[in-house]
Amino acid sequence: MTNKTKYISIIIAAAVITVATGLIVFSTLRDNKQGEIPYIPVEEASPTPPALYEEDEVEEAEATPEPYYPDDEDYPLDEEEDEPERILPELTEGPIRWHTKPTWAFDQVFPFNEGMAAVEIFELSDYHWDFMHILGYMNNIGEIIIPIEHIHYPELYMYRGAPPFSEGRVAVMSVENGGIGVFDTDGNLIVPFYFQWGWTFSEGLMAVRQGGWEFINDQWVDNSRWGFIDRDGNIAIPMEFDYAVNFRGGFAPVMRDGYWGFINTSGEVVIPFIIEVIFNEIGYSIYPRFSEGMVAISTTVIEQNENEEWVYVNRWGFMDMEGNMTIPFQFKWVLDIYNDLAIVAMGGWQDWGLIDCEGNVVLPFEYNWIEIRESGLVYASHREDGHRVYDREGNQIEHPERYESFANLLPLVSFGSGFYEGFAVVQMGGWEDSLDGSRVDNTRWGYADYERNIVVPIVFDEVRSFSEGLAWVRFGNYWGLIQIIDY
């Protein structure tokens, strides 16, 4: 199956709604729409820790060791002796070519971002009956830049398995080093393994954490502090917050004494610490995020249900950067804010609609799900007649088939993903019964274009969607890269 980004929309909706169930209670604003925002005083922040190192004393990474590539004897392309011989496709004619032929026996590969892709191998843990993920990074010409030696566990990340490069940096969580180290695209260790946790770089800064839980006076105490570092590892915003998340649009959510506020890139508080913290169903704190100048917030109200019983329910609205309620509390769910549009629901799972930043209804509340794509198109599934495509003003596209799945592409061919960089993953076959009665996966994968032409033959055992002009494909035990040119 494919493993990438924008995505299988129903899975995304379910994941984000999990976040939405918890976001922010903001009852103080209901009675304070015209007056000043109340400020909740906090104790003095903890003192800024000393610099990690003096200027020009950044720890240099050791020379990158020669990476190990498995030999053909280790992982032969022909998987079983009793299987018919499979010949590696010669993708040398037309617009398709091998960028790097299958060479590496990786267990997992990830999309390219800023010319770098994460790769992993798995090993059985000494103390867990599961796999350790050993992470490294490859550039887009097949060179291992960051060695595949950093042990981590994907659940430590708020990513899908491995963090991507961002602004020329990547923060690698290393179990053996007890924290994160920041590498550049040349494989140099820019920030030593010092901080216990971090996000990705955004707007030149990255939220990082020092300290953690400590057992003091017969109880566990969270002594962690959050702040922000710049791309060289210098502390740019002091480590004085209970929690912090990366910047978006010039603002970052930070927490003090159980309340969220927002700071700018200079560390100045622009919205005081007034937004209450609540938790999702598995106990994690949910943080607010500004997008398009708005942040979704919720409050608890008492309403009558269908049985005329008075119950507590959440209702969502929107606040601007000055802390004013711009759209009142009225929605049951808020899924996403993107491209000056917000996906919201008034009722159940088939009542999604689309509003603009002023609260005007762009699409009525009658869709199973809605996705706003980077192109500006709105992809939606109507509860009565299926898929539709709209522009951002809510006008339906007359010929949406080029944006939709094509289950009837060819006999025995099915749609495997959305379009990425003009191409979609397609598959043939599936699990079948072998002569000895066992089940064998005979699924094969390839790619099609907008016109439903098969542009990459359906012969591969596993593939990934295109990213930055390249796509990972697996043949037997080996991964390689293909490229489509002059198309």
Per residue in 232-250, pLDDT tens? Answer: 999 999 999 999 999 988 8
Percent of the chain with pLDDT over 90: 28
Q: Considering only 373-382, 394-403, 454-463, which range has the smallest mean pLDDT?
A: 394-403
Report pLDDT for 417. Answer: 62
Q: Which residue has the higher pLDDT, 411 or 206?
A: 206
pLDDT at 469: 93
Q: Which residue has the tokens 């769910």?
A: 333
Asked whether residue 39 carries a pLDDT value surpassing 80, the answer given is no
Q: What are phi and psi of 273, to 5 degrees?
A: -80, 85
Q: Is the pLDDT of residue 56 over 90?
A: no
Mean of pLDDT values over 293-319: 81
Confidence label for 74 from pLDDT (cuts 50, 70 and 90): low
Residue 439: band (very low, low, confident or very high) from pLDDT cuts 50, 70, 90: confident
Mean residue pLDDT across the chain: 76
Lowest mean pLDDT among 9-13, 244-248, 252-256: 9-13
The residue ranking higher by pLDDT, 42 or 127, is 127
Give the list of residues 6+ apart from residue 304 with CB closer than 8 angstroms, or none: 310, 311
Structural contact between residues 77 and 102, judged by C-beta atoms closer than 8 angstroms:
yes
pLDDT-wise least confident of 7-11, 181-185, 384-388: 7-11
- Please tell me the predicted confidence (pLDDT) of residue 87: 84
For residues 131 and 134, give the distance between their C-alpha atoms in angstroms, rounded to a whole number: 9
Give me the torsion for CA of 394, 400, 405, 409, rounded to 10°.
170
Most confident by average pLDDT, 64-78, 252-266, 315-329, 330-344: 252-266
Which of 28-42, 99-113, 215-229, 360-374 shows the lowest mean pLDDT across its residues? 28-42
Cβ–Cβ under 8 Å, residues 153 and 163: no
pLDDT of residue 361: 94
| Model pLDDT, residue 155 | 65
41 has a pLDDT exceeding 60: no
Q: Which residue has the higher pLDDT, 169 or 377?
A: 169
Evaluate whether 238 touches 48 at the Cβ level (below 8 Å): yes
In this predicted structure, what is the pLDDT of residue 84?
A: 59
Per the CB < 8 A criterion, the answer to whether 390 and 363 are in contact is yes
Averaged pLDDT, 247-272: 89
Give me the amino acid identity at 462.
E
Sign of CA pseudo-dihedral 467, 470, 475, 477:
negative
pLDDT at 57 exceeding the cut of 50: no
Q: Which of 74-78, 226-230, 251-255, 356-360 has the lowest mean pLDDT?
A: 74-78
Q: 400 versus 371: which is more confidently predicted?
A: 371
Kindly state the average pLDDT of the residues 248-271. Answer: 90
The pairing of strands 341-345 and 352-356 is antiparallel
- The answer, yes or no, to whether residue 161 has pLDDT greater than 50, is yes
Across 53-67, 231-245, 246-260, least confident range: 53-67
**Confidence band, pLDDT 50/70/90 cuts, at residue 170:** very high
Instruction: Identify the band that residue 44 occupies on the pLDDT scale cut at 50, 70 and 90.
Output: very low
- Of these ranges, 5-14, 366-375, 477-486, the one predicted with the greatest mean pLDDT is 477-486
Please tell me which residue, 327 or 132, carries the higher pLDDT value. Answer: 327
Mean pLDDT, residues 310-315 taken together: 82
In the predicted model, what is the mean pLDDT of residues 136-165? 82
Q: How many Cβ atoms sit within 10 Å of the Cβ of residue 96?
A: 17
Residue 409 has pLDDT above 60, yes or no: no
Mean pLDDT lowest among 15-29, 164-178, 273-287, 329-343: 15-29
Burial, 103: exposed, middle or buried (Cβ in 10 Å; 0-12, 13-18, 19+)?
middle
pLDDT at 52 over 60: no
Do the strands 310-319 and 325-331 form a parallel or antiparallel pair, or are they unpaired?
A: antiparallel
- pLDDT for 82 equals 52
Whole-angstrom Cα distance, residue 191 to residue 49? 16
Q: Which of 425, 431, 440 is nearest to 474 (CA)?
A: 425
